[in-house]
Amino acid sequence: MRGIFIVFTLCFLASFNTVESNENPEFARKGPGTERERAIEELIRKTFREPVTFGNFSVNPGNGVLRVKQTINNMLVSGLSKAVRTVQADLKAGTIFMTYEVKRLTTHVDYELEGYCLLLPIWGKGKAVVVMDDVRVTAKATVTSQHDKIKITEMKITFDMSDGYFDLSSLFGESQPGFLTPLYVKVFNANSRYIFNEILPSYIPHSEEVLSTVWRLVLEKV
């Protein structure tokens, strides 16, 4: 299902009304950090503007109740400029850590999907909207610095939210809104936490890849 849930993930982003907080217990470094660390933090915070666009990509079927191959095009994520973003670079420990907290995130995509929900075949293409509330994303990059160059050796993202819902134009190959798709969308939305938990993990690797690429470009500048 859905091409939805997406990589919203990629959150870092955003524009310029950043709120900062240094109280995050996950942060290892005490104090303000070096000039270079602060430069990295500032660059990462300002990397994107709204809405955030993602390259086209596909997601392989999972192993759960929903086994659906998804092709996602023209993905747009909005709401990120309102997020509270915290970034901490600790070059001594070799980590760059970011949290991103936002009340509501809205994602629009063109999707194509094919697979099974339980044993029922579903397929279709069209537009989807996904809304998620109380979203919290963390990203942790492991970095090495050599000869003044900072390299990312690993990127880990976690994603959490309190609630979400989505709308899809077609789940059963219809070209017009019919009866079955709205019915299923309703059922899915009544179980949205469950559905999101099932779908989101398959978006994490792509998100990590995208975020690594973005941070790599940022780190070339410091």
Structure tokens belonging to residue 161: 């939210």
Closest distance to ligand NAG from the beta carbon of 3 (Å): 11
Q: Does residue 175 belong to the site contacting ligand NAG (CB under 6 A)?
A: no
Q: Does residue 213 belong to the site contacting ligand NAG (CB under 6 A)?
A: no
C-alpha to C-alpha distance for 127 and 110, rounded to whole angstroms: 5
Q: Does residue 160 belong to the site contacting ligand NAG (CB under 6 A)?
A: no
Count the site residues for ligand NAG by CB under 6 A: 5
CA distances 160 to 10, 96, 111, 138, 157, Å, are 13, 19, 23, 9, 10
Q: Which of residues 106-145 bind ligand NAG (CB under 6 A)?
A: 110
For 205, counting Cβ atoms within 10 Å of its Cβ (0-12 exposed, 13-18 middle, 19+ buried), the class is: middle
Among 21, 22, 56, 189, binds ligand NAG (CB under 6 A): 56
Closest distance to ligand NAG from the beta carbon of 71 (Å): 9
Between 73 and 212, CB nearer to ligand NAG: 73
- Angle 169-175-176 (CA atoms, 0-180°, nearest 5)? 70
Between 10 and 150, CB nearer to ligand NAG: 10
Between 138 and 170, CB nearer to ligand NAG: 170
- Angle 221-204-149 (CA atoms, 0-180°, nearest 5)? 20
C-alpha to C-alpha distance for 84 and 7, rounded to whole angstroms: 18
Binding site for ligand NAG (CB under 6 A): 55-56, 73-74, 110
